[in-house]
Amino acid sequence: MSAVLHRNLRSTPQLALKGDGVYLVDAEGRRYLDASGGAAVSCLGHGHPRVTAAIIAQLGKLEYAHTSFFTNEPSERLAQMLVDSAPAGFGKGRVAFLGSGSEAMEAALKLARQYFVEIGQPGRSRFISRRMSYHGNTLGALAVGGHAGRRALYQPILIETSQIAPCYAYRDQRAGETEEAYGLRVADELDAEIRRLGPETVAAFIAEPIVGATLGSVPAMPGYFARIREICDRHGVLFIADEVMCGMGRAGAMFVSAQEGVRPDIITIAKGLGAGYQPIAATMASERVAGAIEAGSGLLANGHTYMSHAVACAASIAVIETIEAEGLLDNVQRMGALLSRRLNEAFGQHPHVGDIRGRGLLQSLELVADRDSKQPFAAKEGLAARIKQTAQGLGLICYPSSGTADGVNGDHVLLAPPFTIDAGHVDEIVETLGAALAATLPAARSAA
Ligand code: PMP
């Protein structure tokens, strides 16, 4: 019996005793290849000495000083490192450090609201996001998330937001439609939605440059984000890029917005920022947003006790320095390409693998009952949960999620291994995943 309020109150999960590079080790000494870093968190694997040393050094100096009295060295340095490597428009921007991706999203929504009050447009308070998106679990972040299942319980206490279609070619691109035409068609839904709501009431559009948790690593079509930027500019609406999962090197660049050539007004990052060594996230305000507040009231209207935590910021600096020193962005690109190739070789013709997609070390498989019709498995099959459990039993941590209850998309398996993996680990991931799928999917069950 556990006193921890676990997700499942009737069973206690396996005890993770220690980490060893890309492996986790449980209390019985069993080793698990951590191929998803939980949910795309552990980008350096476990027990990296450089990050551990940086944390200890900072603890010996200063662990914490409240931001209403002091700033601290690690947060100043980390903020500068981030604005220096961010897309255009952030060079003279500002960064707030928070404890989780959800907090970073809350701060982003509040910043957008404050921005419009500061520039004399207080009527702008509405947010538009995309269906089947995930932006966090706190009430504001949940309200802009477009995953009906995750919102359902809390619907009566969520602020009203609206959603347009995601850029999800596997299911929505029409026959004969080019990728570009498809991307522009779905981007134009934003224009229609802003007009429907009244541009003078809309504060911001929120999107993950690569969709993560809800759809499983879905990058946008070329031209999509350029059109989104154009539409936001046309109507004076801010663009918030949620890079909580896809940013910080996971897709082969520190910022996916930069890869996409788009200039967001606000960017959120988390997961890989602390790599699991410390809970830390950041909300980055571009010069446009930070400048308006500086020129206006001069005061950020949002605050938390643990903002700019010195130890967390020191850990993040060490994470970013390690990515640079070990050439890990190159490894993400090389191993990402290898992982994608191996997944295609192993599952490209699999009767229940409908789509293999992703970028860098953020790759996923969408599972379907029928490849031709793309019919998802019925929710009652509980496929994602069974794959997760089977894979874990075989020594592989991957991140399966169920499709939406309305059957709009299928279950998927997300892979987000540490940036430090090598070709041998890629083979181990694909082989073990293959064994887990063979033990779980219906074709294998009936053949057995
Ligand atoms: N945004 C995105 C894109 C995410 O993937 C997540 C976490 N899965 C969040 C926000 C919320 O982050 P956290 O769980 O750290 O609150």
> What digits encode the pLDDT tens for the residues 306-342?
999 999 999 999 999 999 999 999 999 999 999 999 9
Q: What distance in Å separates the CA atoms of residue 239 and residue 221, rounded to the nearest whole number? A: 17
User: 144, 244, 267: which to mutate for ligand 1, most atoms within 8 A of CB?
Assistant: 244
> What digits encode the pLDDT tens for the residues 401-435?
988 766 678 899 999 999 999 999 999 999 999 99
User: 132, 248, 257, 271: which to mutate for ligand 1, most atoms within 8 A of CB?
Assistant: 271
CATH code reported for the domain at 16-34+327-447: 3.90.1150.10
Phi, psi angles (nearest 5°) of residue 83: -70, -30
Asked whether 105 lines ligand 1 (CB < 6 A), one says yes
Q: How far is CA 143 from CA 99, 109, 158, 194, in A?
A: 19, 11, 5, 18
Asked whether 213 lines ligand 1 (CB < 6 A), one says yes
Report the pLDDT value the prediction gives residue 34, as an integer from 0 to 100.
98
Domain boundaries along the sequence of the chain: 16-34+327-447, 52-324
Q: Which atom of ligand 1 is nearest to the CA of 246?
A: 3
Asked whether 274 lines ligand 1 (CB < 6 A), one says no
Query: Terminal CA-to-CA distance of the chain, rounded, Å?
Result: 37
Q: What interhelical angle do 73-85 and 310-325 show, nearest 10?
A: 40
Distance 178 CA to ligand 1 centre (A): 31
Is residue 129 within a helix (H) or strand (E), and if so which, with residue range? strand 126-130
Q: What distance in Å separates the CA atoms of residue 246 and residue 119, rounded to the nearest whole number? A: 31
Q: What distance in Å separates the CA atoms of residue 348 and residue 215, rounded to the nearest whole number? A: 19
Partners of 399 in the β-ladder: 414
Q: How far is CA 445 from CA 96, 138, 191, 343, 369, in A?
A: 50, 40, 47, 21, 13
Please count the other Cβ atoms lying within 10 Å of the Cβ belonging to residue 381.
17
pTM: 0.97
Strand order in the sheet with 399-401: 353-359, 362-367, 412-415, 399-401
**What's the average model confidence in pLDDT over 437-448?**
70
Residue with tokens 């919102």: 151
Q: What distance in Å separates the CA atoms of residue 53 and residue 300, rounded to the nearest whole number? A: 33
The matching CATH number, chosen from 3.40.50.10490, 1.10.510.10, 3.40.190.10, 3.40.640.10, for 52-324 is 3.40.640.10
> What digits encode the pLDDT tens for the residues 99-144?
999 999 999 999 999 999 999 999 999 999 999 999 999 999 999 9
Higher pLDDT, 32 or 408: 32
ipTM greater than 0.95, yes or no? yes
For residue 447, pLDDT over 70 is answered with no
Closest CA to 81 of 359, 287, 314, 295: 314
Q: Which atom of ligand 1 is nearest to the CA of 100?
A: 15
CB 210 within 8 A of CB 202: no
Distance 193 CA to ligand 1 centre (A): 25
Residue with tokens 């050094």: 57
Q: What distance in Å separates the CA atoms of residue 328 and residue 308, rounded to the nearest whole number? A: 26
User: Exposure of 405 by Cβ count < 10 A (0-12 exposed, 13-18 middle, 19+ buried)?
Assistant: exposed
Asked whether 242 lines ligand 1 (CB < 6 A), one says yes
